[in-house]
C-alpha cells in the first residue's frame, strides 16, 4: 500500500497512484502485447492475458478486504451489511424472555431488530431488504413485519399464537404466503384458510389432533394450492383418494388416520397422483393390513423412503414401489421374531428387492446398535459404498444407496437369515456395533461366505470378543489348511476395534472348548492374530481406538503378527465396559 506525502492533496495523491499502477501494468504486460497477432499465437496470447486477469482479480479482492476492514460499519457496502444482518438474525433472534427478578414477567428481546436503531444507514439497509421482515411467529411484531415485508413471500408459524387476533392478517396475505405452519387450528380458522387460493404456498404443515379439518384440507390440497411442494401432516386424517395429480416433492405423515375402510390399494392409488414425490416419511399412518395383490405404484423420482409402523405395513408398501431412483430406505418394524409373519415378510421383501433390475450392489454391512435401549434392537443396514464413519448419527447425503431395517424383537440371532440373502462377493466392509444380539458361533456362520471381505470394524468388548472367538473357532476347524485360499475370511486385511476393555475375561457362557478359563480379550486377540498368520492370511492393519488396558506390553507383542498396528486415544477403565458388563443385556 502506497504512502502519501502529508502535503499532497487528495486529488494529487489519487492521480499519482493511478499513474503508478498504469505504468506498472504496461511494464508487466509488455511482453504479451508484443506477441504478433497471428492465428497461431492468438491462443497463447489469450491464455497469457487470462493469467494476468486472474492475478489482478485476486489482488483487487485483497485490496477490497483491507479497505472494508478500515471502513466505518455505517459505510460498509450494502451487500456486506445485508450479509451481516443475515448472520445477526441467526445468532441473536427475537425471543420472549422471562425476568425472574420481575416475578416471572415476560419481556420481548428485540435481538437483531436493534440494527434499525444503530444509525440511519443501518436502518435504511434493514428496511430496504424486505425479506428480513417476512418471517412471522409468536415473538415477532406482526403489524410491523407485515408492513415492512412489502410484497415479499411470507413464512408464518402459528404455533403458540391466538387465532382471533392474527387470522385476518393471514387471510389478507394468503396470496403471498410461501410457508405456513398451523398448530391446532380451530374449525373456523381452518375453513377460512382452506377455502381460499394460496398460489405461492410451497410448504404446508398442519397439526390437528381433533381432526376437525380433514375435508376442507383435502379440498385445499387439490384445488387451492397449485405450487405446494412440501406437506407435513400430524394427527390429520389422510384422504382415501386424490382425484387429481399433486406436484408434491416431500410428504411427511405422523399419526395420521386413514379411514377405517381405506386399504393399501387405495393408498397406492393416492401415491400414483404424486408422481414427482422425492421423499416420503410415514410414522404410524399406514392402513392396517397388507392385502394388495399385485398392485404396484411407480415413483420414478423417489429418493428417500422412511416408514415406521407397528406391523409389517412398511414391507408391503416398499415391496409395491417401483422406484428406480430411491437411494435411502428406512423401515422400522416394532416387533419381529424368528419364523413369525413379520420376519417371513421381511425375507420375502428383501428377496423381491434384490431381483429388481435397479437394485444396487451393496458393499457395506452395518449390524447392531450403538446405544443400549430397553429391550433388544435389531438394526441392519446395507450400503452401496464403503462406510466412511460408523457414527449412528451420520447424515445421509444421497450420494449412495442405503437400506436400513430396525425392529425390537425379544429374540437374538435374527440377522443371519437376513444377511445370507445378499450376494457375498461385492461385500468388502462389515461394521459390527456395540450391541449386537448374536453369539460367536452364529457370527462365524454369518461371516463365512464373505470371501471378499477386506475390512471389519467392531465396537465394544462383547462384540469384539465374539468376533475374535469366531476367528479362533473357524481357524481351529481348518487347522490342516495352510494356505490363505482356504482360510476363514481369506481376503480380510484390516481390523478396527473401538471401546474395548482388553483386560476383561471371556465369559463362561461365551467360551468355546479351545479357550481355557480366565483368558482375557488381549490373549484372545493375540491367539486370533497368530492363527491368521499361520495360514498366510495375515492382518495387514490393526487399529485400536479408545480402548483400555492396564499394561500395554501385550500391544507390542501383537505387532509381530500384523504389518501396521495403531493404538490411539487410550481411555480409562471407567470409560469402557468389560465383556461381563454386557451379560445382563445380552445373555438374559
Quick: pLDDT tens for 143-190.
Answer: 889 999 999 999 999 887 767 788 999 999 999 999 999 988 888 888
Mean pLDDT of 393-418: 78
Q: Distance (Å, rounded) from C-alpha 503 to C-alpha 281?
A: 45
In a domain, 496, yes or no: yes
In a domain, 481, yes or no: yes
Mean pLDDT of 226-234: 95
In a domain, 126, yes or no: no
In a domain, 384, yes or no: yes
Which residues constitute the domain of residue 435?
363-390+398-588
pLDDT for 483 equals 56
In a domain, 120, yes or no: no
Number of domains in the chain: 1
Quick: pLDDT tens for 329-357.
Answer: 999 987 777 667 888 889 999 999 999 88
- Say which residue, 535 or 302, is predicted with more confidence: 302
In a domain, 323, yes or no: no
Confidence (pTM): 0.79
3-state secondary structure 55-108: HHHHHHHHHHHHHHHHCCHHHCCHHHHHHHHHHHHHHCCCEEEEEHHHCCEEEE
pLDDT for 429 equals 95
3-state secondary structure 106-169: EEEECHHHHHHHCCHHHHHHHHHCHHHHCEECCCCCHHHHHHHHCCCCEEEECCCCCHHHHHHH
Average predicted confidence (pLDDT) for the chain:
84
Amino acid at each position: 500500500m502506497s504512502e502519501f506525502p502529508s502535503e499532497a492533496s487528495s486529488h494529487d495523491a489519487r492521480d499519482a497512484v493511478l499513474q503508478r499502477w498504469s505504468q506498472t501494468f504496461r511494464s508487466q504486460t509488455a511482453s504479451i502485447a508484443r506477441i504478433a497477432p497471428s492465428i497461431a499465437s492468438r491462443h497463447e496470447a489469450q491464455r497469457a492475458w487470462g493469467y494476468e486477469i486472474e492475478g489482478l482479480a485476486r489482488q483487487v479482492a485483497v485490496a477490497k478486504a483491507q479497505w472494508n476492514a478500515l471502513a466505518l460499519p455505517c459505510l460498509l457496502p450494502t451487500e456486506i451489511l445485508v450479509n451481516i444482518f443475515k448472520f445477526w438474525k441467526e445468532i441473536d433472534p427475537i425471543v420472549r424472555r422471562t425476568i425472574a427478578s420481575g416475578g416471572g414477567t415476560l419481556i420481548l428481546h428485540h435481538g437483531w431488530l436493534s440494527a434499525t436503531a444503530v444509525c440511519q444507514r443501518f436502518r435504511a439497509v434493514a428496511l430496504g431488504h424486505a425479506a428480513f421482515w417476512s418471517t412471522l411467529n409468536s415473538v415477532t411484531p406482526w403489524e410491523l413485519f407485515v408492513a415492512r415485508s412489502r410484497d415479499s413471500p411470507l413464512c408464518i408459524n402459528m404455533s403458540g399464537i391466538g387465532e382471533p387476533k392474527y387470522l385476518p392478517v393471514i387471510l389478507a396475505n394468503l396470496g403471498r404466503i410461501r410457508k405456513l405452519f398451523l398448530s391446532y387450528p380451530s374449525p373456523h380458522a381452518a375453513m377460512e384458510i382452506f377455502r381460499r387460493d394460496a398460489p405461492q404456498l410451497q410448504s404446508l404443515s398442519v397439526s390437528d389432533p381433533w381432526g376437525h379439518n380433514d375435508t376442507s384440507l383435502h379440498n385445499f390440497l387439490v384445488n387451492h394450492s397449485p405450487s405446494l411442494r412440501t406437506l407435513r401432516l400430524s394427527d390429520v386424517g389422510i384422504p382415501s383418494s386424490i382425484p387429481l395429480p399433486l406436484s408434491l416433492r416431500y410428504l411427511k405423515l405422523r399419526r395420521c388416520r386413514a379411514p377405517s375402510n381405506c386399504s393399501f390399494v387405495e393408498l397406492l392409488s393416492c401415491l400414483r397422483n404424486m408422481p414427482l414425490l422425492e421423499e416420503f416419511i410415514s410414522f404410524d399412518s399406514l392402513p392396517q393390513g397388507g392385502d394388495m395383490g399385485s398392485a404396484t405404484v411407480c415413483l420414478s423420482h423417489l429418493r428417500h423412503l422412511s416408514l415406521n409402523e407397528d406391523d409389517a405395513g412398511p414391507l408391503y408398501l416398499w415391496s409395491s414401489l417401483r422406484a428406480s431412483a430411491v437411494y435411502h430406505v428406512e423401515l422400522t418394524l416394532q416387533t419381529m421374531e424368528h419364523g413369525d409373519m413379520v420376519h417371513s415378510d421381511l425375507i420375502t421383501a428383501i428377496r423381491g428387492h434384490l431381483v429388481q433390475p435397479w437394485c444396487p450392489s451393496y458393499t457395506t454391512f452395518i449390524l447392531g446398535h450403538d446405544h443400549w435401549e430397553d429391550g433388544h434392537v435389531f438394526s441392519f443396514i446395507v450400503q452401496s459404498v464403503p462406510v466412511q464413519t460408523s457414527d449412528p448419527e451420520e447424515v445421509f447425503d444421497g450420494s449412495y444407496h442405503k437400506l436400513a431395517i430396525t425392529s425390537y424383537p425379544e429374540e437374538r440371532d435374527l440377522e443371519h437369515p437376513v444377511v445370507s440373502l445378499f450376494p457375498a462377493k461385492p461385500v468388502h466392509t462389515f461394521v459390527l456395533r456395540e450391541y449386537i444380539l448374536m453369539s460367536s458361533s452364529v457370527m462365524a456362520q454369518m461371516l463365512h461366505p464373505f470371501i471378499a471381505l477386506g475390512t471389519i470394524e467392531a465396537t465394544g468388548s462383547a462384540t469384539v470378543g465374539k468376533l475374535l472367538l469366531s476367528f479362533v473357532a473357524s481357524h481351529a476347524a481348518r487347522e490342516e489348511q495352510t494356505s490363505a485360499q482356504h482360510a476363514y475370511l481369506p481376503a480380510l486385511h484390516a481390523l478396527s476395534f473401538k471401546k474395548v476393555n482388553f483386560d476383561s475375561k471371556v465369559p463362561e457362557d461365551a467360551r468355546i472348548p479351545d479357550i481355557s478359563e480366565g483368558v482375557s480379550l488381549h490373549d484372545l486377540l493375540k491367539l486370533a492374530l497368530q492363527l491368521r498368520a499361520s495360514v498366510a492370511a495375515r492382518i495387514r492393519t490393526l487399529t485400536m481406538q479408545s480402548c483400555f488396558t492396564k499394561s500395554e506390553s501385550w500391544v507390542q507383542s501383537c505387532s509381530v503378527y500384523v504389518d501396521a498396528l495403531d493404538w490411539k486415544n487410550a481411555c480409562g477403565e471407567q470409560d469402557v465396559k468389560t465383556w461381563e458388563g454386557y451379560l445382563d443385556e445380552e445373555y438374559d
